[in-house]
Amino acid sequence: MPETSKRIPKDYRSDLKPVWCAGCGNFGTLTAMTQALAELEIDPDRMIMTSGIGCASRFPYFMKGYALHGVHGRALPVAIGMKAARPELTVIVVGGDGDGFSIGGGHVAHTARKNVDITYIVANNSIYGLTKGQTSPTSSIGQLTATSPFGATDPPINPVMQLLSADASFVARGYTGQPKELRELILRAIKHPGFAIVEALSPCPTFNKAMSFQWLNERVIPIPATHDPRNRLAAFALAMEEGKFYTGVFYENPRPTYHEYKKVLEERAGRFEDDTAGIRELFSDFA
């Protein structure tokens, strides 16, 4: 591509057509994602994407650039390895609520602790769609699914509250029915230095007809302009409100990334290696 040419969303789409069900919210996330990447003018050859298993985890097939479709719940460890090996690349992870907050839930807190500079987009449809409609960790109490035909009994996980508890350095929620706003959140997440995660409310018209676009349209509202994203307690208060889904940036806490800490440690290790006399003295104790 000539240096003077502006990138467009199509530059990030592969030749494969998405195989999601008609009306799936993932189409909105794909649109928002490619628009954000085009606006940032990220070279597809300088980007790598990984995913776990699920409907949203098919994303890598539909994107240009390096990609790896991993195993269920292990997208974040793979992404950490990618960033560790090639820190200059933009690393993006995509998956669903089951992949991210059930089998892969344990990896979220540790990725947040390390503050690895990766972006994680979680499509939350409150159902296991790919495997035909089982209860997911975000399914609501009483929800009828293939594995809870008389109603789910477990209280749902609140992804935003969980992420705030883990002190992820960028926490946001978008809605696939509002691709323009979702694009802006993804754009900000990619630009954020550190672990940035965006929950994308993503209706599944096939297996979760209760959480429809119409239902969400009546409950999705933007975070008040007066909210300070540096205030984690205020972010918790917004996340805890019932009967509504706030969208926008809940929390943003710029702090040193994993690679910044790593660089300091490497410098310390280098100084120790230069101290050959000190090393000899240390090993003389074991001679």
Tell me what pLDDT residue 3 has: 53
Q: Answer yes or no: is 3 within a domain.
A: no
Q: Is the dihedral of CA 166, 168, 173, 174 positive or negative?
A: negative
Q: What is the CATH number of the domain that holds 172?
A: 3.40.50.970
Residues 128 and 101: their CA atoms lie apart, in Å, by 12
Q: Which domain holds residue 261?
A: 256-287
Count how many domains the chain has.
Answer: 2
Tell me what pLDDT residue 91 has: 98
Q: Answer yes or no: is 136 within a domain.
A: yes
Tell me what pLDDT residue 261 has: 84
pLDDT tens digits for range 20-69: 999 999 999 999 999 999 999 999 999 999 999 999 999 999 999 899 99
Q: Based on the fold, state whether residues 141 and 243 are members of the same structural domain.
A: yes
Q: Answer yes or no: is 2 within a domain.
A: no
Q: Based on the fold, state whether residues 60 and 145 are members of the same structural domain.
A: yes
Residues 250 and 133: their CA atoms lie apart, in Å, by 30
Confidence of residue 214 (pLDDT cuts 50, 70, 90): very high
Q: Answer yes or no: is 260 within a domain.
A: yes
**C-beta separation of 39 from 187 below 8 A:** yes
pLDDT tens digits for range 64-84: 989 999 898 899 999 999 999
Q: Based on the fold, state whether residues 248 and 260 are members of the same structural domain.
A: no
Q: Based on the fold, state whether residues 240 and 149 are members of the same structural domain.
A: yes
Q: Answer yes or no: is 178 within a domain.
A: yes
Q: Answer yes or no: is 95 within a domain.
A: yes
pLDDT tens digits for range 180-199: 999 999 999 999 999 999 99
pLDDT tens digits for range 112-167: 999 999 999 999 999 999 999 999 999 999 999 999 999 999 999 999 999 999 99
Q: Based on the fold, state whether residues 163 and 239 are members of the same structural domain.
A: yes
Q: Answer yes or no: is 202 within a domain.
A: yes
Q: Residue 258 to residues 1, 66, 77, 85, 191: CA-CA distances in angstroms?
A: 33, 22, 14, 13, 16
Tell me what pLDDT residue 268 has: 77
